[in-house]
Amino acid sequence: MNDPSRDPAFLRGLTQSRHRDGSRLTRREALRMAGVSAAALALTACSIPGRKVAAPKQDAVASYWADKKKNGLVRFANWPLYIDKEGKRYPTLEAFTKDTGIQVTYQEAIQDNSTWFGKIQPQLAAGQDIGFDLMVMTNGLQLGKAMDLGYLVPLDHAKLPNFAANAGARFKNPSYDPGNTYTIPWQSGLTGIAYNPKYVDGEITSIQELWNPKYKGKVGMFVDTQEVANFGLFALGIDPDKSVQADWEKAGKKLQEQRDAGLVRKYYEQDWVDALARGDIWVTMAWSGDIYQQNLEGQNLKFVVPQEGGNIWTDNMCIPKTAQNPVDALAIMDYVYQPKVAVALAEYITYITPVPSTQDLVRAKAASAKGDDKKSLEVMADSPLIYPSESDLARVRSYKTLTDAEEKVFQGIFQPITQG
């Protein structure tokens, strides 16, 4: 069983701010006030039996969609502050309704993957409507289980022409969902190394700097096992996607040596950003979006994808198998892959957009903008944290997809290091 408070997507939510208007704590407050017992729901997720199914054949995909029709409504579950908003309005959703005639009911219903999956799994296992036709989940254990247990609808890619035409190559055919059978990305982000140049001489480019004795007591590492395990593997030159138990044991030993040497000040959940800005730590594992936001607020922190590799995580749109309006859900999935729509989302969210051509649109908007808007658009257009280089993207890997048995071994190796 996974503790929702250790969910990397949940932790990112606690640190990440979405607005450019100064309201920096909104998402943190939203999660604090959620009023949901994550632990109780996670226990539910562990207790519901399910049946593993094979990936659907093409004729099964055609069979599912053959009798499905547009109903004029889609019920969309997403994370807090994860779509463009003006007051109580959602401009992208309003434009979608105007263009398609499909109404959208939108709820910020997802606080973390474990809690969300714990809530919907009993209903999906029973074949009951969960109240939503479209949801956003991060690649990882819960999304993998949803696919394995047959809880997601196989996508009809004939109805996703904008995705085919405009999605970046890195966002197609991911290792956790080959062929984008069940999912297409909403937004992504990177886990790399950040450092404070006030305390670090020169540039950091290697993951080995996290083991450098001169930073003793000034290194920050993440508490999440998926994140930290990948960094241990990268340090040994091992591709996490191809790793096996023997590799995990070597990486665990490497990470334990780092801890025993007193290099790590703390294994952080969400408070590493402030620690880096204050100088409590000088070099740390870091999420790209958080560094982008800190620098918008006046900090001068550096972020790099190490030469050995970094992590990429992706929040994915998917359709639950009990969706009442799957055709309408598929329509909005494709709609947001139009560059003019994707750029509006990218400006607001400031994560990595899966539509790389939006960079040129941001530059064009910056050229005609004035004042603070012009400056912020120029920063965004040139930021490798929003638009990573091809060389950076070539070095990143997703979290390894684990079976239940593998997860038990994996957690047994890495949890004692970060949480012991």
The chain-wide mean pLDDT, for the chain, equals 88
pLDDT (average), residues 324-343: 99
Residue 4 has pLDDT above 80, yes or no: no
Residue 20's pLDDT band (cuts 50, 70, 90): very low
All domains of the chain in start order, with CATH: 4-189+314-355 (3.40.190.10), 190-311+399-419 (3.40.190.10)
pLDDT (average), residues 154-166: 98
Q: What sign results for the dihedral spanned by CA atoms 376, 136, 101, 153?
A: positive
C-alpha dihedral over 208, 212, 216, 219, to 10 degrees?
A: -20
The two tokens of residue 224 are 């999440």
pLDDT at 365: 94
Report pLDDT digits (tens) over 336-356: 999 999 999 999 998 899 999
pLDDT at 25: 35
Residue-level length of the chain: 420
The span from the CA of 227 to the CA of 221, in Å, is: 9
Residue 170 has pLDDT above 60, yes or no: yes
Residue 311 has pLDDT above 50, yes or no: yes
pLDDT at 48: 39
Is residue 44 helix, strand or coil? helix
Residue 155 has pLDDT above 60, yes or no: yes
Unique residue bearing structure tokens 């012009």: 374
pLDDT at 214: 97
pLDDT at 54: 53
Residue 7's pLDDT band (cuts 50, 70, 90): low
The two tokens of residue 116 are 């969300």
Report pLDDT digits (tens) over 125-134: 999 999 999 9
Report pLDDT digits (tens) over 175-210: 899 999 999 999 999 999 999 999 999 999 999 999
- Eight-class DSSP state of 155: P
pLDDT (average), residues 4-20: 47
The span from the CA of 92 to the CA of 98, in Å, is: 10
pLDDT (average), residues 281-297: 93
Residue 119 has pLDDT above 50, yes or no: yes
pLDDT (average), residues 254-262: 98
Of 263 and 23, more confident: 263
Please give the share of the chain, as a percent, with pLDDT higher than 90: 76
The span from the CA of 369 to the CA of 348, in Å, is: 16
Report pLDDT digits (tens) over 22-80: 333 333 233 333 333 333 333 333 433 443 445 666 688 999 999 999 999 999 999 98
